Structure 1
């Protein structure tokens, strides 16, 4: 094991406060280091070119949460390997661009392009500082990207509002906030609440020297609604996908046992008011 690997070894994990600058910066390195493992585990379910909203298996081809995308200018933030953007471009007829903070995930996206013979615009960018002009897009979306990994979510909403044209849509999927009160266990062990739903301390993984390796932030349903409305959006609806009875796949804390009783995903749909 290299010195660098030892330095980055997980030494502590739990719910605790950390400085915002450390927690907010951790995602880039974590996803760079874990991109290949993540795609090895979930790549078959995600597909090389498909817009999967959540572990419950909701796909945009059926759900149409983005509305009519043909010819639309679409931005995906926290795109990972850009499977959703690739599908929008090659199947749905959108003019789509993918951004992610992780060079490792975007490199994986470039490899998918090389295998599929496609060309997906891939831009490395923090969702809190998007490198696009005001009003550049008709639709912005993310499926579990960006929002869970920053302490200052209102900055993401403000940037999305800025790059959307008046009337443009903003759709995002996150872990359902109710899940934070329960252990991250897909079986029966995940059915008993062990923490307060209102405990907003992030889940943090640290190295032996105290450096933050990973941070994931909790916001209640009310927090998400307040953030969206406070940024200037009009809230169009909340979607809580049910677990399909024939869906047997386990993904982290998601699975049929918990899914039959507890919501696992929250999808928020909103739009920028017309000028």
Structure 2
């Protein structure tokens, strides 16, 4: 692809294979910039659910912190494994999985650059696709995903079923995604982003493609109802749906997320599920 070419943004069908290839390539190319821009906000060993800054230490969506000790926990779409490091600091035994080799290199960098206590202790890293988890049935007590994998896959039920497969019965899975209502608004943190510009019910994926028409970034839209049905179809029971409010102390903008928009409409949806 010509380095000077700006990808074209469009809405079109994107298959599971095309979506996976685009995600791997995009995150490998952009991991350095992502960690440089957002690393301070994410921290080395914090568990942040989204741009609002809601952290697991305060929210307790996986359960009381003391109950995490000794638990085998899978983080999906882990990036640089910041969340997994926090889990390790609570005494859990986390595995951080990501599709991007470069993101996992940042996980190694952070882990090597701090002592075990500061960085959250040892974390196992696995490079794999969330739609084909390389683990035996019932291998984990819990699973989590903070904006990882699920928004970028064409078949979310496949991923959810894989998560259900590797969880023991009664295991908890908590994942966050862009709040579906945001798809009706422009991805703009300012006043332009406050007016509805598209149909909430249009599930056509958002695609950025190169000059040859190959997808270099893909994000898939599901309505709230779709997400709930996906969870149930995969064998989970939905026990909570959390929509974090924008806190006064968070003054930063992150892409289309901002205090201006965050005070008015939700930016993140967190699904708390239990394996049946």
Q: Same fold (TM over 0.5)?
A: yes
Structure 2: gaps spanning 5 or more residues: 117-121
Displacement of 1:24? 3.0
Contact 1:239 1:268 survives alignment (8 Å): yes
1:85-104 alpha-carbon deviations (Å, 9 max, x no partner): 01111x21111110000001
Question: What TM-score, normalized by structure 1, do the two folds share?
Answer: 0.95
Question: 5 Å matches for 1:225-244?
Answer: 225-244=228-247
Question: 5 Å matches for 1:58-77?
Answer: 58-67=54-63, 68-77=67-76
2:53 aligns with: 57
CA distance in 2, matches of 1:209, 1:110: 34
Q: 2:18 aligns with which of 4, 7, 22?
A: 22
1:89-134 alpha-carbon deviations (Å, 9 max, x no partner): 1x21111110000001000100001101343211001010001110
Confirm or deny that 1:270 pairs with 2:273: yes
Contact 2:130 2:149 survives alignment (8 Å): yes
Confirm or deny that 1:84 pairs with 2:68: no
Question: 5 Å matches for 1:25-174?
Answer: 25-67=21-63, 68-89=67-88, 91-118=89-116, 119-174=122-177
CA distance in 2, matches of 1:31, 1:255: 23
Contact 2:15 2:154 survives alignment (8 Å): no
Displacement of 1:232? 1.1
CA distance in 1, matches of 2:19, 2:250: 34
The SS at the match of 1:141 is: strand
Confirm or deny that 1:221 pairs with 2:234: no
CA distance in 1, matches of 2:232, 2:134: 23
Displacement of 1:7? 6.3
CA distance in 2, matches of 1:123, 1:36: 19
1:218-242 alpha-carbon deviations (Å, 9 max, x no partner): 0000000000001111110100000
1:175 aligns with: 178
Displacement of 1:70? 1.5
CA distance in 1, matches of 2:15, 2:271: 28
- After the TM superposition, list the runs of 4 or more consecutive aligned residues in structure 1 that deviate by more than 6 angstroms: none
Contact 1:136 1:163 survives alignment (8 Å): yes
CA distance in 2, matches of 1:85, 1:251: 22
Contact 1:56 1:241 survives alignment (8 Å): yes
1:196-251 alpha-carbon deviations (Å, 9 max, x no partner): 00011111111101111010010000000000001111110100000112321111
The SS at the match of 1:87 is: helix
Contact 1:186 1:250 survives alignment (8 Å): yes
1:205 aligns with: 208
